[in-house]
Structures are given as structure tokens and as C-alpha cells.
């Protein structure tokens, strides 16, 4: 049986690991519109750290299709013309009003539509609401190519399950949901992913089912975290330590081990809005989903308010006070700053007239400047001078900081992630 060439459209947190794994078995073209990204990858380095330099360099090839496997990365449309399978893995963000923004998905579909041939298969991995693939993407493919789905080309959907920064639950070890526009194509898409997914696959009966399965995964987590965030607010007023309550409750076998915190990133903090948007389009107002989103989106401002209260109780002036926030990425031990909610703490503290410095050894300073318009510290400030320290992200490096010195100097310490000893902090979420 002929081995089909694969083109991966979008080489970010999802697309690159996928391209590297397939390149161990087949010829793969990795396509991205960012010339900077292509240059970085051709130099054998992935700044997102999702793929190690060793693994990337092991599959990189200098010319496409010269061998029966390997990864060739490019920003040239001409290099993907000879592929038969196109996997689209681009971001699906929301706009400033939290409405789904399908622009990257539409643009990627236009790109593939320009090279689409009879018999080709287009597989989408981007998280969307049920119906987006067939109702929003396929019409673009058909319009640009002049071809018809299930007559000339076929479509599949296999939602990504990448967990940025997680070196245990990686691409190949997480079961993959697959689907196709016909039963036969579903089987082919499923067989394709079985080549690289050691955890196995689950062939969904339709594309819409696969889309819905993905979007509720993160919506479920969002709602559960919102619940414990609300518990944290309640127990704080009662003078009860939330983490101690969760530890006690966790002794029951079926208690779910969620912890309070900031909910950002490209998935959990975004995907529920996609489901909510579709629900409203079909005439249903989703109450629990949006309530969870409102609560979680407000946690940064809540933390800032708690820090201000602690300063006032300690008799320290708020206006003009200096605070050090540790961490700006959306999660620990990961350089991803997309949709981080840590920035909300800083922004809210500044509305009180406070000066906020941010230090994060994982974040790229240029990316932070571009995304949020702020300069962050490039090294940990050894000298004190701060009235408050907020541990916003649980990077391993922050566990090594001697907080005892700051505590002795009267610095207010707030631990969002609950990783410091209780006696070392003034409060924690």
C-alpha cells in the first residue's frame, strides 16, 4: 500500500509534536506562515520546548520526499502540493468579547484549498464547536478548490489533546479520538493515527460527535475548577484553609482532586466559550458553563484584592507600594504565555496605584512585551524593597527561593498555587 505524504499546517504546540511523530514513519512537510518559526526549527530548536532538540534534529531533512520518512519544514505553499493528507493544527482563540475567532482556521483552510487534489484528505485538529468543520471549514475548502467533499476530497476530525509542558502525558500516550466524513474515511483516519498513538484510538461515529467530545473535556475541567475557586472564596471568609479542606475531602475514593487557581491558557480558558456560542446559536442559554467562566475569569482581580486587604491590615500604604509577582506563564514549568490570567493580578494591583515587577525564568521577554506590552525582569531581584510578593505560577525555580528572608522583613506573601509551607505565607488561594 502506498505511503501517503502528510502536510501539517501550523507548527505550534500541537502541530510540531504531531509532525515529529509522523516523520518517524512517513514523509512529512511541516508548514507554517511564520518565517521566524521555520528558521528556528531548521536550526534544530523548538522554543516552546514541546519537542526536544534531539528529537527534532533526528527527523529533520533538508529536502522534501527524498527519503521514505523525515520532516521538512517550510513556509512555501509550493512545498505542500505533493501531499495527500493535510492536517490543520492552528489556534482557535476568542476575541476581546470572548467570541470564537475562526480566522486562523479559515485562513488555513484557504491555504489547503489552493493545493487540494482529488482523493486528498483534510484532517482538522483545532478545538471548535460542534459543526464547525463541516459548516465553516468545508465550504472554504470547496470554494477555493472548486471541489466537493466526499466526491473529490474527504475530511476528518481528530481533536488535539496536547497538555503544554507535560512530559508524562505526551502526544503518543494519550488516547486519540478520530472521525471521518464517510465511514471509510473514518477508518483510514483512525488507522493513520494508530501508527503513532501507543495509547490507542477511539473512532467516533461522526465529526460532530468528535468535535463535541473535545470541547466538553475542557469545559468540564473549567466548571470543576470554578467550583473549588468558589469554595476558596467561601472558606477564606470563614477563616478555613481551603487546601486543608480539599486534602481531608480527598480521602474519599470518588472525590475529584481539583485545586483552586487561575484558569488560563489556550484550552480550558477558551474552549467553553466555543460551546457556549454554539449553544446560544441553537437557542439555549448555557448557565453553568458561563457562570464557571465568569468566576474563573475574575480570580486574578480577586487575588489582587486579597493582597491589598493584607497590606491594609498590616498598616502598609497601598498607593505607591511595590509588589513582585513571580510567574507570568499560564502554567508551571512551561513557557506558554497565551491567555495567561496571571496578568490580571498585575493589572488589577496597578489600578490601586501599586508598582508591579514580574519575574519569570520560563517566559520569553520579547513575547511578553509583544503580547502584553510590559517589560519583565530578566533575573530574580536579590534586593528586597517590595511590600508584597505574589507567587502566581508554581515554577520549580520558585520553590528554591528563600522566602524566610522576605517574611522576616515584613513582606506580605500571597501564594496563589499553594506550594509554599502554610506558615511561610500570609494567605493562599
pLDDT digits (tens, 9 = 90+) for 152-178: 999 999 999 887 777 778 899 999 999
Q: Is the pLDDT reported for residue 108 higher than 90? A: yes
pLDDT tens, position by position, 308-346? 999 999 999 999 999 999 999 999 999 999 889 999 999
Q: Is the pLDDT reported for residue 39 higher than 60? A: yes
What percent of the chain is modeled with pLDDT above 70?
A: 100
Contacts 24+ apart (CB under 8 A), 51-59: 51/16, 51/17, 51/20, 55/20, 56/16, 56/20, 59/20, 59/23, 59/24, 59/28
Q: Is the pLDDT reported for residue 49 higher than 60? A: yes
pLDDT at 163: 77
pLDDT at 1: 54
> Which triple of cell numbers denotes residue 99?
467570541
Do residues 209 and 178 lie in contact, with contact meaning Cβ atoms separated by under 8 Å?
no
Q: Using the CB atoms, write b or e for 290-328: b if 16+ within 10 Å.
A: bebbebbbbbbbbbbebbbebbeeeeeebeebebbbbbb
pLDDT at 385: 87
CA distances from 425 to 24, 68, 307, 350, 418 (A): 48, 57, 12, 22, 9
Average pLDDT of the chain, as a whole number:
94
Confidence of residue 408 (pLDDT cuts 50, 70, 90): confident
d(CA 114, CA 126): 20
22-36, 144-158, 181-195, 377-391: range with lowest mean pLDDT:
377-391
pLDDT tens, position by position, 342-358? 999 999 999 999 999 99
DSSP for 335-385, written as a single string? ---TT-SHHHHHHHHHHTT-EEEEE-SSS-HHHHHHHHS---BSS---S--
Query: Is 267 a residue of the active site?
Result: yes
Confidence of residue 304 (pLDDT cuts 50, 70, 90): very high
CA torsion sign for 214, 218, 220, 223 is negative
pLDDT at 96: 85
Q: Is the pLDDT reported for residue 264 higher than 90? A: no
Do residues 209 and 187 lie in contact, with contact meaning Cβ atoms separated by under 8 Å?
no
pLDDT at 315: 95
Strand residue runs (E) in 85-221: 85-88, 121-124, 154-157, 176-178, 201-203
- Which residue matches cell numbers 508584597? 388
pLDDT tens, position by position, 64-85? 887 789 999 999 999 999 999 9
Active-site choice (83, 137, 267, 334): 267
Confidence of residue 265 (pLDDT cuts 50, 70, 90): confident
Amino acid at each position: 500500500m502506498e505511503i501517503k505524504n502528510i502536510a501539517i499546517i501550523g507548527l505550534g504546540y500541537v502541530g510540531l509534536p504531531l509532525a515529529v511523530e509522523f516523520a518517524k514513519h512517513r514523509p512529512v512537510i511541516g508548514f507554517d506562515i511564520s518565517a521566524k518559526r521555520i528558521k528556528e526549527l531548521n536550526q534544530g530548536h523548538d522554543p516552546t520546548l514541546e519537542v526536544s532538540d534531539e528529537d527534532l534534529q533526528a527527523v529533520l531533512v533538508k529536502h522534501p520526499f527524498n527519503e521514505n520518512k523525515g520532516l521538512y519544514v517550510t513556509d512555501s505553499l509550493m512545498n505542500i502540493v505533493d501531499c495527500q493528507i493535510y492536517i490543520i493544527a492552528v489556534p482557535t482563540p476568542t476575541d476581546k468579547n470572548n467570541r470564537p475567532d475562526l480566522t486562523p482556521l479559515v485562513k488555513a483552510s484557504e491555504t489547503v484549498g489552493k493545493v487540494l487534489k482529488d482523493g486528498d484528505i483534510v484532517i482538522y485538529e483545532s478545538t471548535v464547536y460542534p459543526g464547525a468543520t463541516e459548516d465553516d471549514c468545508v465550504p472554504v475548502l470547496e470554494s477555493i478548490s472548486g471541489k466537493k467533499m466526499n466526491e473529490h476530497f474527504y475530511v476528518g476530525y481528530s481533536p488535539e489533546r496536547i497538555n503544554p509542558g507535560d512530559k508524562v502525558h505526551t502526544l503518543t500516550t494519550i488516547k486519540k479520538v478520530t472521525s471521518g466524513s464517510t465511514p471509510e474515511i473514518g477508518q483510514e483516519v483512525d488507522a493513520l493515527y494508530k501508527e503513532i498513538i501507543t495509547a490507542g484510538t477511539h473512532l467516533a461515529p461522526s465529526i460532530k460527535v468528535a468535535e463535541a467530545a473535545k470541547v466538553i473535556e475542557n469545559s468540564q475541567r473549567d466548571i470543576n475548577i470554578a467550583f473549588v475557586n468558589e469554595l476558596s472564596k467561601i472558606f477564606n471568609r470563614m477563616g478555613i484553609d481551603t487546601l486543608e479542606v480539599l486534602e481531608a475531602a480527598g480521602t474519599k475514593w470518588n472525590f475529584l482532586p481539583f485545586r483552586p487557581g487561575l484558569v488560563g491558557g489556550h484550552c480550558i480558558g477558551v474552549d467553553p466559550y466555543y460551546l457556549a456560542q454554539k449553544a446560544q446559536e441553537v437557542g439555549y442559554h448555557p448557565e453553568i458553563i458561563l457562570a464557571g467562566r465568569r468566576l474563573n475569569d475574575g480570580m486574578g482581580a480577586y487575588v489582587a484584592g486579597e493582597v491589598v486587604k493584607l497590606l491594609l491590615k498590616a498598616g502598609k500604604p497601598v498607593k505607591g507600594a511595590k509588589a513582585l509577582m513571580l510567574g507570568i506563564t499560564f502554567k508551571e514549568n512551561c513557557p506558554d504565555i497565551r491567555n495567561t490570567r496571571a496578568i490580571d493580578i498585575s493589572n488589577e494591583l496597578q489600578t490601586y496605584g501599586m508598582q508591579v515587577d514580574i519575574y519569570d525564568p520560563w517566559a520569553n521577554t520579547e513575547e511578553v512585551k509583544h503580547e502584553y506590552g510590559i517589560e519583565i525582569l530578566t533575573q530574580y531581584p536579590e534586593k528586597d524593597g517590595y511590600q508584597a510578593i505574589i507567587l502566581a505560577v508554581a515554577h520549580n525555580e520558585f520553590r528554591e527561593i528563600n522566602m524566610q528572608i522576605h517574611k522576616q522583613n515584613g513582606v506580605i506573601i500571597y501564594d496563589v498555587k499553594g506550594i509554599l509551607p502554610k506558615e511561610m505565607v500570609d494567605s493562599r488561594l
